[in-house]
Structures are given as structure tokens and as C-alpha cells.
Amino acid sequence: MSDVVTLPPLPREVPELVADPAGIREYAADLLAASTQVDELGSFVAGDARIPDWTGLGATAYRDAIKSTGRLADAMSLALRDVARRVDQHAVALQSMLDRHGALVDERDLLVAAIAELRARVAGATADQAPALQLVCDDCAVRVATFEIDLDRWITDLMAEEEAIQEAFARALTLDQVERRYAGTDDPADAALDSMPGPNASPRDVKSWWEALTREQQLAVIAASPGSIGNRDGIPPGARDAANTVSLDSDLVDWGSLEDQGLLTDDERQWLANARAAKQAISTIEDGIDPQTLAPVCSQLYLYDPTAFDGDGAVAVSAGDLATAHDVAVTVPGFGTDGQSAPYQADRALDLYEATRSVDGTTGVASMFWIGYDAPDNLPWEGTGWDGAGVAGEGLAAAGGERLADLLDGLRDSRDGDRAHLIAIGHSYGSTTTGHAAHDEGIPVDDLVFVGSPGVGGDTNDVGDTGVDPDHVWAGANSRDPIADLGNHGWVHLESVLGGAGLGDDPAEDDFGAIRFEAESTTRPGHLDLGQHSTYFDHGSESLYNLSQIVSGNYDAVLGADPVTDPWYAGPQDPEWDRDPTERDTLDDP
């Protein structure tokens, strides 16, 4: 009967929310208590500290000196109080988010149960019962759609609130900022920032705001409050790079000096390591040489947040100019990636840049690696054994997908001039994230590529679910790569074996419908080997060759490969297993 009655779709999972409003209020209380103490200093300076009977040059010098201390104390106290107030509001907002979260989870549970029941009814129904059943299913589908909208709204509100509180912290972080803002001096940055659109604004609105500022205001914002715009979607890439570079350089100096004095906390030590990794990623790219012009490759620090994700760090650097390049590739890495992966990822991004620029007729290219989501820390393979319990589920990928979708929207909307040819490349767990971004949010890419994918998300069963033109969905899988082997294989669903560890369907399989390309390596052994999982961007490899053709839009030159099949009688079959791998010329030069 299921081919006559259409069942309603399953509602998405509600992402986890871990927060403690009481704890947040405690933090605010501590700030407020400190602000009171600082305020007392200000009052003391204005009153009892003055020693009115003391006259002469010494007295004047003393009173002048303490006056500036008093001014600073007043400004600091105001700043701390403002932030404490905002943190209190944040506690309230999060309580509301938690309440809404509970309601969403309850609603989803009801819907899932209802759909299961409907499935059973449909299975046992007769033909004349079908129309009535369909009506019930349709009603349920409407409820699911409403739930999805509510969930979207909740996610957006949560992300907006997180951005807003981060902005509040960022604007009162240094004494410079505090003095400028609270001690009464006019600063072009303040007026500009006060008119900045709130966190819920679209990238287009943010771009309009930025472009309406005077050059002086823009420079002032970059210098005085780079954290406010450096990672904001809608701000043009050049400005983001300028702002993030200011933040990075000042972090290196500040934490570096604390390091010299032996005063770093453990947290700060990690943040400093993330900052250094970002710096190194930039120099790695700038050491590269463009194959066409022989000029050094330019870099852009598009995302920089060394404290993100509990200190794992977020960073994205582009080889090439994101604002003007015609072909723009965003690569999303996977397991174990964090801020300190930046230099290695920069090398891969540079390799892709060089290979793409080596393709005849290619114009401007930008190849960016994006470490902008919380990737799973632990690897599913510990030593020589499979660690089913340690495998990340799809939760981190789903959360990451939201961020990736925002990034890609922002990149599109922040550019002027010709529309870019935008390509998203997901590697490893990054492909699960990219799959989620495509399915859950929709992404404005022209080409979608999965390499070494353990699965592209449980709800994405074929190219039709990605929202991207099926002729532009690609998959590369090295036959010896055990991670690429993990995707659900037809009727053998590994998730039921490995305690829910499955990450979705294998995009290299025929059922999925993606265009598979050759991705074997001449270093491959005769058996599955983890080392093969990292070969997709190596110079000289089939995979990098094909990636470079896709990125430059040279689709006819892509070397196709037959997909993996999964007949019921024999288990997954990979025709690439027996083909002899080749070396490809990916670099137009030495």
C-alpha cells in the first residue's frame, strides 16, 4: 500500500543544547561585584584621595596623575557593568532557548511516534482505506513542516544570541576600547559600530551597512574593534582579512608577551598555539607561487577565532582573493581537525590552488580551507581497533552544516561584480557536514564534491536531496580508503551494527547518483589502508587532477569512474579496486 499512500517525512533531530543559565548569572554577578570595587576607586580618587591641604607643584602633579587613574576606573566600571548586564540578559535568553528546546523535542517525539503508527497502518491497509489514510498523512506532514519552521527559527535565534553576546565581549575586551567608548572621547569607530545591523541581519544588509561607512570609519572599525567584523558574514573578504589580521597580530603580541613572562594560563596557551597556527597557515600560502603569473600567492584570513569551540579554535584562510576570483572552492576537512590543523590544511588548499591555476584557460582562483565548525576530536580508530563507542554521530555535522551554509551565503552576498563559480568540497567527516549543509539548509554552490566520505548524512539518500543540480554533484573515493568504505551500503546498514555510528549513505555508490571520478593513488597497497584517506589532495594524484578540473569548470576533462555497487548477494563491489592507478600532471611547472 505504501506506493499509493505517501507517508509524511521524518522531522529533523533537534540539536543538543548544553547551557546553565544559573552559571551564567554567577559569571555576571562576579563581573558586577568587580565593577563595584572599581567604581569605588573612582569615587575615592574624586574625593578622599585628593589631600586638599597639600599645595605646590608636587600636589598638582599628584592630582593630575590620580585624575587619569580615576577616569580609567570610571570607564572600566561602566564597561564591566554593561557587560554584566548583557550577560544577565543572555542567561534569560538561554533559559528561554532551553524551554523552547524542550518543547521542540517533545513535539518531535510525538511526530515520530505518529509517523511510525501511520507506517504500520498503511502497511496493513486495503485499497479503499487509502484516501482516508492519505488525508491523515497529509495532516501529519503539515505538522512536520510547521515543526521544521519552528526548529529553524530556534536555531537562528540561538546563533544570533550567541553572536550578540560574543560581540558584547569583543567590544569591551581591551582598555583602549574601554577608554574610547566610556571615557567620552569621540571615535569614528563607535558611531559606525552603533549602527551595525544586529546578529539576525542578512549578509546583504551587513554588506550595505559596511559600504555606507566612510573610509575613515571603516579603517577605524578595523583598527579599534576588528572582532566585530572579522568573522561577520556579509563583510567583504578584503575587510575581513584586514580586521582578522589586526586581531591575529595583536593576539600574538599580547599572549606572546605573557608567555615570555611565564604568566600564561592553560587556556591562553592553547589560544596562542591556535594563533601561531593561523600565522603559519598564512605564510604557507604566501610561500606558494602562482603557476601563471609566477607571483607569490596572496592569502586572506577570512575567519579567525582562536577561542572558539572550547579552545579548539576556528580559522579559515584562502589562497587567492575571495572577492574577485571567478572559481572559488571551499574545502571542509574532517576528523580531528581544529585550529592547529591550519598549516596542514593551508598546504592542501594551496595544492588545489596551484593545480587549478595550472589548468589551461583558468582565470582567477580562490581556494579556502574552512575550519569553522566543531569537528569530532576523537578518531574512530584507536590504535588498531575499531572504537564504535567513540565515533561521533551526525550531531556535530548537523551543527557544522548550519555554519557552512551561513558562510557560503555570506560569501555569495558579499561579493560585487560577476557571480562566482562556487564549489564546496567536503573531505571525510567534512563531507558529512557539507551533506548536512546542502540537505538541511540549502547551499548556493554550483558544484558539490565529496571525497573520502564516510556518509553524507542520514537524510540525504541521493543527489536529489542535496538541492544541487545532479550533474554537478561529484564523489571521489579511493578504493583502499576504509573511511570511504563506511557509508551505508544498500541494505547492510552499518549503523545498526555499530551502535548508531553510521553517518549516512556513500556518495560513491550507484544508488546515490553522483558522478564518481578517479581517485586512486599509486602509493596504494593491496588492502584497505588508512593512509589512503589523506591522499585526495596530493600533487600528482588522480583526485587532485579531477578536483582541479571541477574547480576550473573544465567538466569534460574529469576522469570518470564507475560507482560502487552493492548487490544483495555479494556485498559492496568497487570497480576501481582492480584498475591500475596513474600519476597525473597537476602542476604546470617544476
Residues 260-299 that bind other proteins (CB under 8 A): 265, 267-268, 271, 280, 284, 287, 289-290, 292-296
Judged by CB under 8 A, which of 13, 377, 529, 562 binds other proteins? 529
Judged by CB under 8 A, which of 357, 472, 533, 584 binds other proteins? 533
Least distance in Å: CB of 483 to other proteins?
A: 9
Judged by CB under 8 A, which of 14, 144, 151, 165 binds other proteins? 165
Least distance in Å: CB of 562 to other proteins?
A: 21
| Residues 153, 156, 392, 104, CA torsion sign | negative
552 in contact with other proteins (CB under 8 A): no
Rounded to 5 degrees, what are φ and ψ at 573?
Answer: -120, 130
CB 516 within 8 A of CB 475: yes
Judged by CB under 8 A, which of 134, 324, 363, 534 binds other proteins? 534
CA angle 349, 354, 358 (to 5 degrees): 145
Closest by alpha carbon to 336, among 282, 275, 381? 381
Least distance in Å: CB of 127 to other proteins?
A: 31
Closest by alpha carbon to 423, among 533, 478, 359, 349? 349
Q: Measured between alpha carbons, how far is 233 from 128 in angstroms, rounded to an integer?
A: 54
Instruction: Pick between residue 134 and residue 174 the one whose CB is nearest to other proteins.
Output: 174
List the interface residues with other proteins, window 140-159 (CB under 8 A).
158
Least distance in Å: CB of 103 to other proteins?
A: 18
| Residues 378, 380, 381, 386, CA torsion sign | positive
CB 147 within 8 A of CB 11: yes
Q: How far is CA 309 from CA 137, 274, 386, in A?
A: 41, 12, 26
What does the CA dihedral 222, 226, 228, 234 come to, rounded to 10 degrees?
A: 60
CB 31 within 8 A of CB 84: yes
Which amino acid, 222? I
- HSE-CB at 556 with a 13 A cutoff on CA atoms is 0
C-alpha grid cell, residue 189: 569607530
253 in contact with other proteins (CB under 8 A): no
173 in contact with other proteins (CB under 8 A): yes
175 in contact with other proteins (CB under 8 A): yes
DSSP one-letter code for 308: H
Judged by CB under 8 A, which of 88, 374, 509, 518 binds other proteins? 374
Instruction: Pick between residue 137 and residue 392 the one whose CB is nearest to other proteins.
Output: 392
Number of residues that bind other proteins (CB under 8 A): 112
What residues have CB less than 8 Å from 570, skipping those under 6 apart?
none
Q: Which residues of 507-528 are buried (b: 16+ CB within 10 A; e: fewer)?
A: bbbebbbbbbbbbbbeebeeeb
Instruction: Pick between residue 52 and residue 417 the one whose CB is nearest to other proteins.
Output: 52
Least distance in Å: CB of 573 to other proteins?
A: 13
Judged by CB under 8 A, which of 10, 105, 130, 379 binds other proteins? 379
131 in contact with other proteins (CB under 8 A): no
Judged by CB under 8 A, which of 538, 554, 559, 573 binds other proteins? 538
List the interface residues with other proteins, window 189-248 (CB under 8 A).
none
469 in contact with other proteins (CB under 8 A): no
Judged by CB under 8 A, which of 9, 13, 67, 69 binds other proteins? 69
Instruction: Pick between residue 394 and residue 481 the one whose CB is nearest to other proteins.
Output: 481
85 in contact with other proteins (CB under 8 A): no
Q: First-to-last CA distance in the chain?
A: 64
Least distance in Å: CB of 137 to other proteins?
A: 29
Cell 554533484, located at residue: 473
Q: How far is CA 113 from CA 5, 145, 460, in A?
A: 18, 16, 22
Q: Measured between alpha carbons, how far is 87 from 509 in angstroms, rounded to an integer?
A: 49
List the interface residues with other proteins, window 384-443 (CB under 8 A).
384-386, 428
Closest by alpha carbon to 346, among 305, 298, 310? 298
List the interface residues with other proteins, window 562-581 (CB under 8 A).
571
587 in contact with other proteins (CB under 8 A): no
360 in contact with other proteins (CB under 8 A): no
Judged by CB under 8 A, which of 63, 85, 160, 344 binds other proteins? 344
Pairing relation of β-strands 327-332 and 421-427?
Answer: parallel
Question: Which range binds other proteins by CB under 8 A, 130-138, 413-421, 466-474, 483-491?
Answer: 483-491
Least distance in Å: CB of 308 to other proteins?
A: 6
Judged by CB under 8 A, which of 1, 7, 19, 219 binds other proteins? 19
CB 20 within 8 A of CB 110: no
Question: Which range binds other proteins by CB under 8 A, 28-36, 141-149, 321-329, 506-514?
Answer: 28-36
DSSP one-letter code for 357: H
Instruction: Pick between residue 194 and residue 491 the one whose CB is nearest to other proteins.
Output: 491
Which helix (H) or strand (E) segment holds residue 404: the answer is helix 395-414
CB 558 within 8 A of CB 546: yes
In terms of residues, how long is the chain? Answer: 590
Least distance in Å: CB of 310 to other proteins?
A: 5
Question: Which range binds other proteins by CB under 8 A, 111-119, 140-148, 511-519, 522-530?
Answer: 522-530
252 in contact with other proteins (CB under 8 A): no
CB 445 within 8 A of CB 419: no
Judged by CB under 8 A, which of 54, 131, 139, 257 binds other proteins? 54
Least distance in Å: CB of 198 to other proteins?
A: 17
102 in contact with other proteins (CB under 8 A): no
491 in contact with other proteins (CB under 8 A): yes
26 in contact with other proteins (CB under 8 A): yes
311 in contact with other proteins (CB under 8 A): yes
30 in contact with other proteins (CB under 8 A): yes
CB 139 within 8 A of CB 118: no
Judged by CB under 8 A, which of 327, 459, 485, 542 binds other proteins? 485
